[in-house]
Amino acid sequence: MAETTQTSRDRLTEKLAAGVPDRSVRLAYGDKQTVDSVEFVPVALVAYGFGAGDSDEYGSGGGGGGSAIPVGAYIGGADGLRFRPNTIALLAVSIPVICTLGWSIAKIIKAAS
């Protein structure tokens, strides 16, 4: 029974892995676009994961997920290639970091008093 379970687990993991696109920088950098004769390459913060498992009590299963946050674009112009950040996305991403930093500082101050 253990060999059958291991084989089905391996197959499930392989099926999940096959659904994940090529894991190269192409996930973070989009294709070059042109708008009003200005060329740019969009840039995103990309994260994904997947997993699978089984047990005698609960059965087997698997799943995955991912996210992409547009952080800006590389834009070509007369002064060369420049990175232009997506300010709204960068603020949204930095809010949890700032909150955690504030919480940590408050805990440190409270512990020191």
Q: What is the DSSP secondary-structure string of the chain? A: -HHHHHHHHHHHHHHHHHTSPP-SGGGTB---EEETTEEEEEEEEEEEEEEEEEETTTEEEEEEEEEEEEEEEEEEETTEEEEEE-HHHHHHHHHHHHHHHHHHHHHHHHHH-
What six digits make up the tokens of 51?
Answer: 């997993």
pLDDT value for 50: 76
Instruction: For the chain, give every domain's residue range.
Output: 2-85
pLDDT value for 82: 92
Higher confidence at residue 6 or residue 86? 86
Sign of CA dihedral 33, 39, 45, 47: positive
Question: What confidence category does residue 101 fall into, taking pLDDT thresholds of 50, 70 and 90?
Answer: very high
Question: What is the rounded average pLDDT for all residues in the chain?
Answer: 81
Q: Among residues of the chain, what percentage have pLDDT more than 70?
A: 81
Q: Among residues of the chain, what percentage have pLDDT more than 90?
A: 23
What does the radius of gyration of the chain's CA atoms come to, in whole angstroms? 22
The pTM for the full model equals 0.54
5-46 pLDDT, tens digit each: 556 666 766 776 676 666 667 778 888 888 888 889 999 888
